[in-house]
């Protein structure tokens, strides 16, 4: 045992030297990064030798890296080779699963939003739901990637999720049949003389989907088209380059977004090249508490350039940039938070979100307890946002009592583009809901 431990320590020392953490001349009595790696090596060997069952070295190392990275913030994580491959498949547009965007909170999996048209959405899974178990097994404390892997599987197979929901006294089970999830597929339709475009996320096809939607709607509606509603509600984000391209498609120029990292030289600015594909027609963008990350970049850019009217409720507030860093041949990758997003006016999205120009409730958000509304600011370990300018609390527009709408926020947007006043009532003031 002693000999094995010494060999392992020698390897850790060599690792530290290779990383430039330890000068060649330092002695064993020194503290700092080498001492911490020494501590890790000691723990590694003790677990390896004494745990109740044999464990593979890769299992211990993967768990150690995951623990190190996931402790930094809610969006940093380690992906083993399989998870990394799954992530690459997802960004290309499809995978087998139930269709929910999730994060981890208090040891459970929290639903950011279900993906349109998927088994989860059809079964009524909601933003803010917490998943406590999968197939009858508790997932408390389980790494996020492992829980996601359990929810994915072959098309047609079944999985049972145990759901905790605000307002429900007891957990309940929902059994879903997995399907091939078409991730973030744009959809569109005409609403009279207005084009409605739904962007549920940002993958490699999102910008081209938007461009096709605008072309088709121009043909369907003709020259009398009044404008467009772009629906970013419950859009959890995705690829930065697609958010930039979507913004570029709707702007004639100017900054789209900037990212600022740890060092001044890490700052990057992304500009629109010009060429508004809608020919300057009015645009209303719909957002809510499930609007996050890339969708907040688009909302913020269009709002700051006064290119669109933002309608809905304050967005999620995920204003951090995750960089995917591969870790060598077959070694998986790090998803590491490396910067923050800023809108063209210099507004930090992080833990603040995009505040709509007109706060419009779907009808029940203002009555839901705060804990049930997903928000970056509520996630344990989130990056603290920068101080925001003082906000003026405006009334939240709500459906008039007794009047029924299939989608009040959309009805309000359509009326706004037609220059009409929606039948509505003013409710509570609009805060970061």
Q: Which one is catalytic: 116, 184, 295, 318? A: 318
Quick one: tokens of 301? Answer: 């850019």
Q: Is 318 a catalytic residue?
A: yes
306 is catalytic: no
- The alpha-carbon radius of gyration of the chain (Å, integer) is 24
Nearest C-alpha neighbor of 345 from the set 408, 301, 401: 301
Burial (CB count within 10 angstroms: exposed 0-12, middle 13-18, buried 19+), residue 234: buried
- Report how far residue 233's alpha carbon sits from residue 410's, in angstroms, rounded to the nearest whole number: 11
Question: Do 304 and 291 form a contact (C-beta atoms < 8 A)?
Answer: no
Whose CA is closest to 203, among 234, 246, 155? 246
Question: Are 398 and 366 spatial neighbours (Cβ–Cβ below 8 Å)?
Answer: yes
Which member of 73, 86, 186, 304 is catalytic? 304
CA pair distance 107, 74, nearest whole angstrom: 11
Of 70, 76, 247, 293, the active-site residue reads 293
The two three-digit tokens of residue 39, written as one number: 């501590």
The DSSP element (H or E) to which 16 belongs, if any, is helix 2-18
Query: Alpha-carbon torsion 350, 354, 355, 361, what sign?
Result: negative
Q: Which two tokens stand for residue 281?
A: 């027609």
Cα–Cα distance measured from residue 9 to residue 88, given in angstroms and rounded to the nearest whole number: 36
Q: Which residues are the active-site residues?
A: 293, 304, 318
């Amino acid at each position: 045992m002693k000999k094995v431990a010494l060999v392992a320590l020698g390897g850790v020392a060599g690792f530290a030297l290779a990383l430039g953490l330890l000068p060649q001349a330092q002695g064993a009595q020194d503290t700092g990064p080498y001492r911490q790696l020494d501590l890790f090596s000691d723990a590694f060997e003790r677990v390896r030798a004494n745990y109740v069952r044999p464990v593979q070295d890769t299992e211990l190392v993967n768990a150690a890296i995951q623990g190190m990275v996931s402790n930094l913030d809610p969006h940093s994580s380690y992906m083993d080779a399989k998870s990394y491959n799954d992530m690459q498949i997802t960004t290309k547009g499809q995978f087998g699963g139930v269709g929910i965007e999730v994060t981890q909170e208090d040891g459970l999996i929290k639903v950011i939003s279900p993906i349109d048209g998927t088994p989860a959405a059809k079964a009524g899974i909601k933003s803010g739901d917490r998943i406590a178990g999968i197939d009858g097994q508790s997932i408390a404390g389980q790494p996020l990637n492992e829980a996601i892997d359990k929810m994915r599987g072959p098309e047609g197979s079944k999985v049972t999720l145990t759901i905790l929901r605000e307002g429900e006294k007891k957990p309940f089970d929902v059994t879903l049949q997995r399907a091939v999830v078409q991730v973030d597929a744009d959809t569109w339709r005409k609403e009279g003389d207005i084009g409605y475009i739904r962007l549920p996320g940002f993958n490699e096809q999102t910008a081209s989907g938007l461009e096709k939607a605008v072309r088709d709607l121009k043909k369907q509606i003709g020259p009398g088209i009044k404008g467009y509603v772009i629906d970013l509600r419950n859009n959890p984000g995705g690829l930065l380059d697609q958010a930039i391209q979507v913004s570029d498609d709707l702007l004639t120029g100017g900054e789209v977004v900037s990212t600022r990292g740890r060092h001044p030289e890490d700052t990057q600015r992304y500009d629109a090249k010009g060429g508004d594909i809608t020919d300057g027609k009015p645009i209303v963008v719909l957002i809510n508490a499930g609007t996050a990350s890339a969708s907040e970049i688009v909302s913020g850019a269009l709002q700051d350039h006064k290119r669109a009217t933002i309608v809905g409720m304050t967005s999620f507030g995920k204003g951090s940039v995750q960089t995917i860093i591969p870790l060598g041949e077959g070694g998986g990758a790090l998803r590491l938070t490396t910067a923050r997003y800023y809108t063209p006016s210099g507004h930090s999205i992080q833990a603040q979100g995009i505040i709509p120009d007109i706060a419009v409730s779907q009808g029940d958000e203002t009555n839901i307890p705060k804990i049930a509304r997903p928000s970056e600011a509520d996630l344990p370990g989130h990056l603290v946002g920068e101080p925001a300018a003082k906000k003026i609390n405006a009334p939240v527009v709500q459906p008039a009592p007794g009047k029924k709408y299939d989608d009040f926020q959309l009805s309000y947007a359509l009326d706004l583009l037609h220059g009409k006043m929606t039948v509505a009532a003013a409710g509570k003031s609009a805060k970061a809901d």
